[in-house]
Structure formats: structure tokens, C-alpha cells
Amino acid sequence: MIDIKDLIKSRYAQDSDLKKSFDMPDSISKRILRKSCRKFKKSKVSKEILISLIASAQAAPSKSNLQQYSILLIKNKEIKNKLSKLLEKTAWALEAPLFFLFLADIRRNQIITEYKGYEYKNNSIDYFMNAVIDASLAMQNFINSAEEFGLGICPISMVRNHLEEVKKMCHLPKGVFPIAGLSVGWPDENNEVSIRLPIKVVFHEDFYNDKDMLKQIDQYDKTIERVQPIPKSKQRHVNVYGFNEKNTWSENISRQMSLSERKEFKKWLKSHGFNLD
């Protein structure tokens, strides 16, 4: 077992202010030290492990047990090649032995409701959100179990940049859309643990309080610069803003937030069976 103080230092690159030391269960220490994988061995993942992962995903909490999600494994080489071209810089995602789409799915319950003789009246923004959360929780359960097996994973949000193409490729009917892709396989690299925002920025007690947030972010930027500097190649939108001598986390996310992304997303969802009323 690993001491909590060591885990905190690894994740945040700063000493813990915990006064007591205690040993963590191995499964929890793995969660705290988890990291994404972007390079995979060619080795296959057995059917037994695959079914275990699907069962784990389905064990996730679900709003009112509605289970408004589906999981699509992409096996067809032609589809994988097309997806790979769409993802461009993220094409490595399709080199993993397994590539999934986790789908928010309100269609299934619409069909069931009408089959039972009722009128479906919950095609709303709330049920859209419920479906996205259901799919997200299922994906996180899947990820946790995959990493327990020693598999590497990486979620791929870029599939939402190409919703129409993905819809046609994978025959996604109305009321079903991908929240993310997920690459899964035996890791062929050992990445660093990403340094996260300080606990004080994210964790609040009783009342939301961001009084010292900017001061904490400034300190976080300095920690990233010292421990895990962001390379020039990962600076955001250099074609618009040019290169910055200090490529800080806050500068990078500010650049990303300053330009609109997926502006047609709502329009596409509404044309694809999600009313969002």
C-alpha cells in the first residue's frame, strides 16, 4: 500500500497538509495515480475481459434505472479507417485493439413507452442531460474496471466534431448520439501523472467560494511550468494568437475558451431527435 501523502504529492506536485498518515487500499491509490494511454500494444483483449467490462459499465448508477445509454464497439476495418481520417491528429485512437462509442440513448425508452400504449412526453433538456450522465457514469465504471485489468484507456471527445459523419457511418438512429469515443488496449507507454488543479480550487464546503481562485490558479500555473511544462506543440490556437514564451495552463484553456467550438451542436441534436425543450 502507498501512503496518502505520497499520492497527493504525485497528483498535485505539492505536499499534503494532512496531519495523519494512513495506508490506502491499492484500488484507491490506482485511481489517484491514474493516467491516460495513447499508445497501445497489438495484443488482443479477450472476450471474457470485454464482457466483464460491459457488465461493469452496466453496474453504474442510472437515473431512475432508466439506463439511457448504449455502448458501440467499432470492429469494422473500413469504419475504423474512416473514423481515423476524421480524427486527424487523434487518429492514434483507432490503433487501440478496442474502440468504443459511448452513446446517450433516449430512443430505446421512447420505443418501449409507445409499445406499451403510452405517449412519450419526456423529450426534454432534462432527459437529454439524464442520458448524457447515464452514459458518462457507465463509461467511468468501464474505465475503472479496464484499469483494474491493467488496460490503458483514453476518452476521445473529438468524435463530437464529426457527428453527422459518425451518425451515417454507424447507422445511429434519432435519439442516439456519441458523448465520446474510448480507446482501450494494453499500454505500450508509461506516461506521467497529470498534475491537477489544487483541491482548494475544486472542493468547497457548505458554500461555493472562489475568493482566492485566481491566486490559486497563478500558483498552479507556476507548478505546471516547473514540473510539467506544456510544450510549444501543444499551445492552443497559435494560428490566431501566435506562440507564447510561457505556455501556462490558464493561458492554454483561455485560448481554447475564446474561440467557439461545435457551434452547430444544438442544431444537430434537435435535428437528430433531441427536442431540448
Domain boundaries, the chain: 1-33, 47-191, 196-277
- pLDDT score, position 248: 92
Q: What is the pLDDT of residue 206?
A: 97
Supply the pLDDT for residue 20: 75
pLDDT at 195: 96
pLDDT of residue 19: 75
Grid coordinates representing 226 are 516547473
Q: Which residue do the cell numbers 469515443 mark? A: 181
Q: How many angstroms separate the CA atoms of 19 and 95, rounded? A: 45
Residue 102 cell numbers, joined: 459511448
What residues pair up with 205 in beta bridges, in sequence order? 207
Intervals of the chain under pLDDT 50 = none
Q: What is the pLDDT of residue 1?
A: 57
Query: Vertex 153, ends 237 and 108: CA angle to 5°?
Result: 95
**CATH number assigned to the domain covering 47-191:** 3.40.109.10
**Three-state secondary-structure class, residue 11:** helix
What global pTM score does this model have? 0.94
pLDDT of residue 24: 77
DSSP state of 276: -
At residue 148, the pLDDT reads: 96
| The residue type at 216 | Q
pLDDT digits (tens, 9 = 90+) for 148-207: 999 999 999 999 999 999 999 999 999 999 999 999 999 999 989 999 999 999 999 999
The confidence score (pLDDT) of residue 18 equals: 83
pLDDT at residue 4 in the model: 85
Predicted pLDDT at 52: 98
Helix (H) or strand (E) holding 123: none
Angle CA 96–97–100, to nearest 5: 75
The backbone torsions φ and ψ at residue 80, rounded to the nearest 5 degrees and listed phi first, read -60, -40
